[in-house]
Amino acid sequence: MSTRDTGTEQLIRDTAKHLFFAEGKLHATTQEIADAAGVNRTLVNYYFRSRDILFDQVFNEAQEVFSSTLDEVFESSMPFKEKIRNLINVFIEETTQYPYRQLFIITEMNRDLVLYSKRSRVNKVKSFIEEIQLEMDNGELRKMDPRQFIINLFSLMAHPLITAPLQQAIFGMNDDEYAKLMEERKELIFETIFR
Amino acid sequence: MSTRDTGTEQLIRDTAKHLFFAEGKLHATTQEIADAAGVNRTLVNYYFRSRDILFDQVFNEAQEVFSSTLDEVFESSMPFKEKIRNLINVFIEETTQYPYRQLFIITEMNRDLVLYSKRSRVNKVKSFIEEIQLEMDNGELRKMDPRQFIINLFSLMAHPLITAPLQQAIFGMNDDEYAKLMEERKELIFETIFR
DNA sequence: CTTTTGTTTAACAATTTTGTCAAACTAAAA
DNA sequence: TTTTAGTTTGACAAAATTGTTAAACAAAAG
């Protein structure tokens, strides 16, 4: 079965991702996805056969992108501080674009049914943990469980973007003002992490 | 219309909250809620008339609890450090019990339709921000936008609990191990915040 | 130009989820 | 005990969502 590739399949996938990850419309129906993509709903079934398959594809892709983003950082051979600086830039950039991606992953994980690939990333992080431990031994970082360091780092990066609507309500800020605050965070996080 | 109060109405509400906030089942149907509560699905309509009304009640209650939790802290008259210590304990306790409550709120906010009370909490936070500013002026805290301080604090507290399933997968930890890590965080966050 | 084949569409069917209603039930009041 | 009124249940209806099919369409091949 050769293909003529009208781009529709990818359009649907991308639109779904945008609704889920960027707009946080976790309940989006196939009709809503089709409408947002400007195509006939039937095409969702034509290309993906079922709603679940589309969801699975988006879910798996999300996991892979998320994973490989981490791996790139974990496995790069830059000096530690540079590596962190790079991570902050890349991660915040991605999370700004797709703030609800992690949220989507977690929601799908909590949905039973879904048999998500549970292959842990233990091995991949291991070297990163060792590297952090080394920095602590050398007095470059405050001593703590290296996992706590990682959790701190990701919390400071991701959470304000995931909860943007709430934060904006609390502080009474509009989108632009909040975006500016997030931009300032890049440096701030770096300083906070390295005390 | 007087009531006999069999507790069923509250049971349904509480079960819904548990599914949404504790288990992260953001897609739960009325049937699933009824099953989890061990009651006939029709009772959801009897007591709440419609699914949407039940959702609205849960949503509003969540917002109120969340808000008043913050207010209690913001408006208390303890010394600053004690106040923060107290906040960390209370907030982590609550978020451990209901890790997905914020997530539920945000998801519902992103769902259009829902006309959530947008009354900002600007006034309530204002005094807290001033208090933080004062601490910074006195050299007790590193100088930064006080809002960033607040965001840091809440990020460090909430995010690891919201993303627990992901973190556990990354680090290959079971529930108990992760719970222990979270317990250790209380002190760690305090130290991190006060550098 | 005609055929072929992949794409798109609309109408229809099936399924899932939600909502309604009357009858059965149950605890308190009369 | 009978009555009353709120509660619970099952059967049914309505609505929303998803899936299927045949026909229309369009671009490339022959």
- Provide mean pLDDT across the span A49-63: 95
Number of neighbouring beta carbons within 10 Å of residue B51: 14
Instruction: CATH number of the domain at A173, please.
Output: 1.10.357.10
Q: Give Cβ neighbours of residue A72 (< 8 Å, ≥ 6 apart).
A: A90
Cross-chain residue pair A170–B120, CB shorter than 8 Å: yes
The pLDDT, as a whole number, for residue A67 is: 85
Residues 30-69 of B with CB under 8 A from A: none
Q: Is A162 inside any structural domain?
A: yes
The pLDDT, as a whole number, for residue A118 is: 57
The pLDDT, as a whole number, for residue B117 is: 58
Q: Is B115 inside any structural domain?
A: yes
Q: Give Cβ neighbours of residue A58 (< 8 Å, ≥ 6 apart).
A: A13, A16, A17, A20, A104
B5 CA to D1 C1', in Å? 25
- Nearest Cα to Cα of residue B170 among A120, A72, A130: A120
Nearest to B102 among A109, A166, A195 (CB): A166
B122 touching A (Cβ < 8 Å): yes
Reported as half-sphere exposure (CB side, CA atoms, 13 A), residue A93 has a value of 7
Which residue's entry shows tokens 């129906």? Answer: A29
Q: Give Cβ neighbours of residue B134 (< 8 Å, ≥ 6 apart).
A: none
Reported as half-sphere exposure (CB side, CA atoms, 13 A), residue B119 has a value of 7
Contacts of B158 in chain A (CB under 8 A): 155, 159, 163
Q: Is A133 inside any structural domain?
A: yes
Q: How close, in Å, is residue B53 to chain A by CA atoms?
A: 17
Residue A113 or B138, more confident: B138
Range of the domain at A63: 59-193
Q: Is A46 inside any structural domain?
A: no
- Provide mean pLDDT across the span A131-149: 96
Cross-chain residue pair A147–B26, CB shorter than 8 Å: no
Cross-chain residue pair A25–B111, CB shorter than 8 Å: yes
Q: Tell me which residues of chain B have a pLDDT lower than 70.
A: 1, 113-120
Q: How close, in Å, is residue A170 to chain B by CA atoms?
A: 5
Joined together, the tokens standing for residue A79 give 């000096």
Q: Is B32 inside any structural domain?
A: no
Q: Which conformational region is residue B12 in: left (phi greater than 0), alpha (psi within -120 to 50 degrees), or beta?
A: alpha
Cross-chain residue pair A148–B121, CB shorter than 8 Å: no
Reported as half-sphere exposure (CB side, CA atoms, 13 A), residue B113 has a value of 10
- Of chain A, the end-to-end C-alpha distance in Å amounts to 59
Residue-averaged pLDDT of chain A: 92
**Residue in chain B lying closest to A22 (CA):** B110
State pLDDT tens for residues B160-186.
Answer: 999 999 999 889 999 999 999 999 999
> Where residue A119 falls among pLDDT bands split at 50, 70, 90?
low
Interface test with B, best of A152, A173, A189, A194 (most B CBs within 10 A): A152
The pLDDT, as a whole number, for residue B115 is: 52
Contacts of B185 in chain A (CB under 8 A): 148, 151
Q: Is A3 inside any structural domain?
A: no
Q: What sign has the CA pseudo-torsion A80, A150, B152, B85?
A: negative
Total domains in chain B come to: 1
Q: Is A63 inside any structural domain?
A: yes
Lowest mean pLDDT among A100-104, A121-125, A168-172, B20-24: A121-125
Lowest mean pLDDT among A108-117, A118-127, B157-166: A108-117
Is it the case that residue A187 has pLDDT exceeding 90? yes
Q: Is B3 inside any structural domain?
A: no
- Provide mean pLDDT across the span A158-171: 94
Is it the case that residue A2 has pLDDT exceeding 80? no
How many whole angstroms separate alpha carbon B171 and alpha carbon A58? 24
3-state secondary structure of A143: coil
The pLDDT, as a whole number, for residue B70 is: 80
Contacts of A24 in chain B (CB under 8 A): 106-107, 110
